Amino acid sequence: MEHVADPYARLLETYHDLNPSFISYAFGPPTPLQFAAAVRNNRPMIFRDALYDADGEEWDARRLWTKEYLLEKMKGREISVAETPWGNADSVIEHAEREVFVKPHTTTQPFDQFLEDVIAGSHLTPSDLDGTKTVKYSQSQDDNLHGEYEPLLQDVPANLHWAAEVFGEKPDAMNLWIGNQNSTSAMHKDNYENLYCLIKGSKTFVLISPLEVGTLRERTLPSATYRPGEDGRLEVVLDVGEDGREEVVHCWPTVDPESPGVWGETEEWKAGRRYEVTVTEGDVLYLPAMWYHKVKQECGEDGYCVAVNYW
Establish if 28 belongs to a structural domain. Answer: yes
Per-residue pLDDT of the chain (311 residues; tens, 9 = 90+): 455 457 888 888 899 999 999 999 999 999 999 999 999 999 999 999 999 999 999 999 999 999 999 999 999 999 999 999 999 989 999 999 999 999 999 999 999 999 999 999 999 887 788 778 899 999 999 999 999 999 999 999 999 999 999 999 899 999 999 999 999 999 999 999 999 999 999 999 999 999 999 888 899 999 999 999 988 899 999 999 999 999 999 999 988 877 755 544 555 566 678 999 999 999 999 999 999 999 999 998 899 999 999 99
275-279, strands of its sheet edge to edge: 88-89, 184-188, 292-298, 202-208, 275-279
Could you tell me which residues are beta bridge partners of residue 114?
A: none
Number of structural domains in the chain: 1
Which spans in 85-175 are helix H?
111-121, 161-167
Composition of the chain by helix, strand, coil, percent to 5: 25, 35, 40
Nearest in space to 267 (alpha carbons), one of 13, 24, 39, 82: 13
Cβ pair 53, 157 in contact under 8 A: yes
DSSP string across 265-310: SSHHHHH---EEEEE-TT-EEEE-TT-EEEEEEE--TTS-EEEEEE
Task: For 153, list phi and psi in degrees, rounded to 5.
Answer: -60, -35
Establish if 1 belongs to a structural domain. Answer: no
Establish if 249 belongs to a structural domain. Answer: yes
Cβ pair 275, 44 in contact under 8 A: yes
Instruction: State the pTM of this model.
Output: 0.93
Say which CATH number the domain at 39 has.
2.60.120.10
Establish if 2 belongs to a structural domain. Answer: no
* CA 81/CA 121 separation, integer angstroms: 14
Establish if 291 belongs to a structural domain. Answer: yes
Domain residues for 58? 7-310
From residue 240, alpha-carbon distances to 47, 93, 167 in Å are 44, 18, 40
Establish if 131 belongs to a structural domain. Answer: yes
